[in-house]
């Protein structure tokens, strides 16, 4: 058995049990798989929850109530050792799909199929899940439900596919040397961009990206920004608006960062701190410094990164600046 097989089996068994559980059974499932001192981190308005009751009452039960017959549809499933502290984690990324039959966070239901993008990080210790980072794309969910809360996005938002080669479900452990190559490449890319931040540079020459990225890269960004294809379009539709319309960028590090095979992932709490100076997301700059929680999931093909799925808690980032788009949208549309 591989190094991460047992942790993967525990997480997969939890996924299956949770999917089969009714709303009144969610706490029993969490009690079976989670440690007593369970800590959960997520997007606004959930943020940080401690203990299975809080996680069930605030996230899982409302979500399962809203999305009838909800399925977890995984595109990537990997395990690894956290480069930050040596702990063991499993990461799954994909969509929660179901029938949107009841309102969720006052987002009006449609009675139609809908998908909610997710990336879930699970720390497994002594046979139990002790910590979770679960990030969902609520703005993307609102877009699919027909109530976009932001100006038109620079990229295109849709139900994103998994890896082009359909090779992201690593139920059996991959060659550890391949994981090392992937993590080294991701770390090099992060270091290159951090050096730009430290220098104060707002732009980014394409040659910097070409060191790590394939020319036909795909960047699957969050709702509010959207996806871009190829280096020139990625720079036009996300990177340069991000770099030019946000200043004083500080990289704060990661909570979890690991790789397995051709895939790598990380999240921070927060990853970044920056100040909007006008234009990002089509909004004015308020000169309010704010934190960003970001998830990145990468696919390496050969010696370059080929695909990148990204979650940014833009709702929380805007909330710190005095705008609650969930509250605002609900007030306007649900009077």
User: pLDDT (tens digit, 9 = 90+) per residue, 160-186?
Assistant: 999 999 999 999 999 999 999 999 999
Q: Render pLDDT for 317-326 as a digit per residue (tens, 0 to 9).
A: 999 999 999 9
Contacts of 58 (CB under 8 A, 6+ apart): 46, 49
Task: Name the pLDDT band for 201 (thresholds 50, 70, 90).
Answer: low
Alpha-carbon distance of 219 to 260, in angstroms, equals 20
pLDDT of residue 242: 94
Give me the sign of the Cα torsion angle 40, 98, 222, 334: negative
* Tens of pLDDT, residues 36-89: 999 999 999 999 999 999 999 999 999 999 999 999 999 999 999 999 999 999
Helix axes 5-20 and 26-33, enclosed angle (nearest 10): 170
Does residue 309 or residue 195 have the better pLDDT? 309
Q: Who wins on pLDDT, 13 or 285?
A: 13
Neighbouring C-beta atoms of residue 126, cutoff 10 Å: 6
Letter string b/e over residues 318-329, b meaning 16 or more CB atoms within 10 A of that residue's CB: bbeeeeebbeeb
Give the dihedral of Cα atoms 237, 160, 150, 271; nearest 10 deg: -70
Q: What is the tens place of the pLDDT at every residue in 203-246?
A: 677 788 888 999 999 999 999 999 999 999 999 999 999 999 99
Percent of the chain with pLDDT over 90: 90
The pLDDT assigned to 200 comes to 60
């Amino acid at each position: 058995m591989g190094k991460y097989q047992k942790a993967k089996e525990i997480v997969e068994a939890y996924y299956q049990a949770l999917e089969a559980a009714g709303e009144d059974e969610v706490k029993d499932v969490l009690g079976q798989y989670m440690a007593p001192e369970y800590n959960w981190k997520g997007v606004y308005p959930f943020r940080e929850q401690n203990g299975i009751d809080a996680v069930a009452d605030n996230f899982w039960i409302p979500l399962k109530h809203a999305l009838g017959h909800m399925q977890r549809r995984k595109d990537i499933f990997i395990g690894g050792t956290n480069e930050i502290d040596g702990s063991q984690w499993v990461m799954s990324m994909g969509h929660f799909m179901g029938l949107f039959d009841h309102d969720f966070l006052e987002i009006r239901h449609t009675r139609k199929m809908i998908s909610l993008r997710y990336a879930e990080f699970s720390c497994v210790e002594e046979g139990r899940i002790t910590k979770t980072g679960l990030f969902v794309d609520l703005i993307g969910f609102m877009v699919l439900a027909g109530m976009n809360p932001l100006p038109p996005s620079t990229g295109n938002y849709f139900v994103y596919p998994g890896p082009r080669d359909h090779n992201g479900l690593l139920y059996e452990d991959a060659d550890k040397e391949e994981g090392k190559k992937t993590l080294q490449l991701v770390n090099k890319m992060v270091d290159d961009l951090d050096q730009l931040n430290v220098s104060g540079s707002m732009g980014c020459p394409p040659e910097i990206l070409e060191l790590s990225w394939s020319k036909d890269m795909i960047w699957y960004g969050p709702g509010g920004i959207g996806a871009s294809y190829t280096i020139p379009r990625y720079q036009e539709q996300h990177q340069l608006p991000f770099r030019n319309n946000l200043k004083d960028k500080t990289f704060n590090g990661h909570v979890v960062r690991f790789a397995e095979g051709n895939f790598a992932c990380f999240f921070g709490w927060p990853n970044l701190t920056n100040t909007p100076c006008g234009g990002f997301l089509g909004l004015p700059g308020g000169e309010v410094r704010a934190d960003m929680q970001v998830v990145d999931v990468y696919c390496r093909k050969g010696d370059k990164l080929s695909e990148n799925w990204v979650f940014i808690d833009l709702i929380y980032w805007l909330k710190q600046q005095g705008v609650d788009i969930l509250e605002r949208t609900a007030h306007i549309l649900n009077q």
